[in-house]
Amino acid sequence: MKTSIVSLSLLAAAAITLPGCSATQHRAEVQDDNVDRVTVGMVQREIRVGMPTAEVAAILGAPNIVSTDADRNEVWIWDKISSDVSYSRSSGVVAGLVIGSSGGGAGGGSKNAGARSSSQRTLTVIVKFDDAGLVRDFSYRTSSF
């Protein structure tokens, strides 16, 4: 009889402990409000010298900055920042069962833990136009940290 009580008690403790352990992971990506996402691959694939301003705008969207160079020709700049945030959280409930010769007692507790990481990427695209409004030159820079 005592052995069956011990077995039942251990089974009950396992049933309480195991469902109480859980882990959740979340990932959020925060980007600017621009619906079209400018990427290095897009610039490398699509932008060509001699392309008109309308085609550049159709591919990359509106630039963040428009200025002129020393020759008074337009220079368009896209400056994008992307942030990635990842976090995980886990919590568990631990139930203990102590059985002695005179009876038993139960005890328990809970534990929470978590981790967070973040990274940022930047992309700057510069397109220089000639006096006819065609792409004269373009460049890009990217970084991640």
Domains contained in the chain, number:
1
Cα 86 off chain centre by: 6
Of 61, 32, 31, 67, which Cα lies nearest the Cα of 46? 61
Mean pLDDT along residues 39-47: 94
Query: For the whole model, what pTM was predicted?
Result: 0.58
> If you write DSSP's letter for every residue of 11-49 in order, what string do you get?
HHHHHHHHHH-EEEEEEEEE--S-SSPP-HHHHHHH--T
In angstroms, the CA 38 to CA 125 distance is: 9
Most confident range (mean pLDDT) of 27-31, 46-50, 106-110 is: 46-50
When pLDDT is cut at 50, 70 and 90, the band that residue 15 belongs to is low
The domain of 27 spans 2-144
User: What pLDDT is recorded for position 62?
Assistant: 95
Q: Tokens standing for 133?
A: 């409004």
More reliable by pLDDT, 20 or 83: 83
When pLDDT is cut at 50, 70 and 90, the band that residue 30 belongs to is very low
Mean pLDDT (the chain) is 78
In angstroms, the CA 32 to CA 43 distance is: 18
Mean pLDDT along residues 46-71: 96
